[in-house]
Amino acid sequence: MIYTVTFNPAIDCVMRVRDVRFGSINRCETEDIYYGGKGINVSNVLNELDCANVAWGFVAGFMGLALEQALIDAGTACDFIHLPAGETRINAKLKGCADDAPSSEAQTITGADVETAINAKGPEVDAESLNRLFERLQAIGAGDILIISGGTPRGLDDDVYARILQGQQGRDVRVVVDATGNLALNALPFGPWLVKPNDEEIAEMTGCDPFDVAGLVEGARALQQRGARNVLVSRGGEGAILLDENGRLHQAPAPAGTLVNSVGAGDSTVAGFVAGYTQAREDGRDEDAAYVHAFALAQACGSATAFSPGLATRQTIDDLLARIEG
């Protein structure tokens, strides 16, 4: 079984607005609501890939109930911990319209490819609720995969990921960490099976050059030396790099396509890697072949989301995977 943990889920309200003017009433042309957060995004893409999983995390208040019900209605298995106070956050995303032209009166840059985001903090996670999560984590069985991703809300220290990994020591659980800064660095000594920084994040963590492939490889090696087993570096339009636990280096350019939406592309990459490895091993492939397939499916899923208005769909993933592996 695969489990995802999202500490700070969100409801994203994406509005397309022409010529935003501060201090005035602005009306949007379109609005879309997305229910997610990094781990939830991973769960949704795993569903597209027919990988059974359960989304865990924290929700609060009326907005938390709405998010939970929306996921259930969409077929995502979830078992959230309900916090005693606060509200699950709502993030406002303002985007330009496709036919926008620059205006001298506008107070923001216009255009369909420009986004201004206002992300809320989210509710505070109290000690009792956090303990409930740690109790739940003890139910994970040998051979299962646990994916913890994203930032943490108020009330949590930056050692919380490390504490989760420490609790899984010796239990034959593969733990994936998709986080930045000290959240990720503190977890490395406990041997996460996979860490998935992007080029900017690995540069921040290791001091490597994010624009140089050799530098990124050295950064990946540095993370391995600190405890990570596999390091997958996503590079947006430049492709991806994988340094696997057997010392093999995998590199590939990004598939050709038109960027539509980069939100969730990294989460989709994680889902693709986990699904690709799991399915390859279930099919009887050896570990080297499993990592080759995992890397290919990770690229396909990440690009499928980047080329779509929302998260990747199975058809787009399959089309891209055929191009990558063909």
The CA distance from 270 to 289, in Å, is: 18
- Residue 267 designated active-site: yes
Q: How many CB atoms lie within 10 A of CB 83?
A: 23
> CA separation (Å) from 52 to 45, 222, 283?
11, 33, 16
Helices (DSSP H) in the chain: which residue ranges?
Answer: 38-48, 61-73, 127-137, 160-167, 181-185, 199-206, 213-225, 265-282, 287-306, 314-325
Reported as half-sphere exposure (CB side, CA atoms, 13 A), residue 240 has a value of 30
Residue 321: closest CA among 278, 258, 261, 275: 275
**Residue of 32, 267, 288, 318 marked active site:** 267
The CA distance from 128 to 317, in Å, is: 40
Residue 238: DSSP 8-state? G
Q: Tokens representing 174? A: 């593969």
Question: Mapping DSSP to helix (H, G, I), strand (E, B) and coil, where does residue 142 land?
Answer: coil
> CA separation (Å) from 310 to 55, 94, 107, 303, 313?
19, 15, 27, 12, 9
> CA separation (Å) from 298 to 29, 90, 133, 301?
34, 29, 28, 5
142: left (phi over 0), alpha (psi -120 to 50) or beta: beta
The CA distance from 44 to 74, in Å, is: 9
> CA separation (Å) from 164 to 85, 134, 156, 178, 219?
24, 7, 13, 13, 24
Q: Do β-strands 89-95 and 115-118 pair in parallel, antiparallel, or remain unpaired?
A: antiparallel
| Catalytic sites, residue numbers | 267
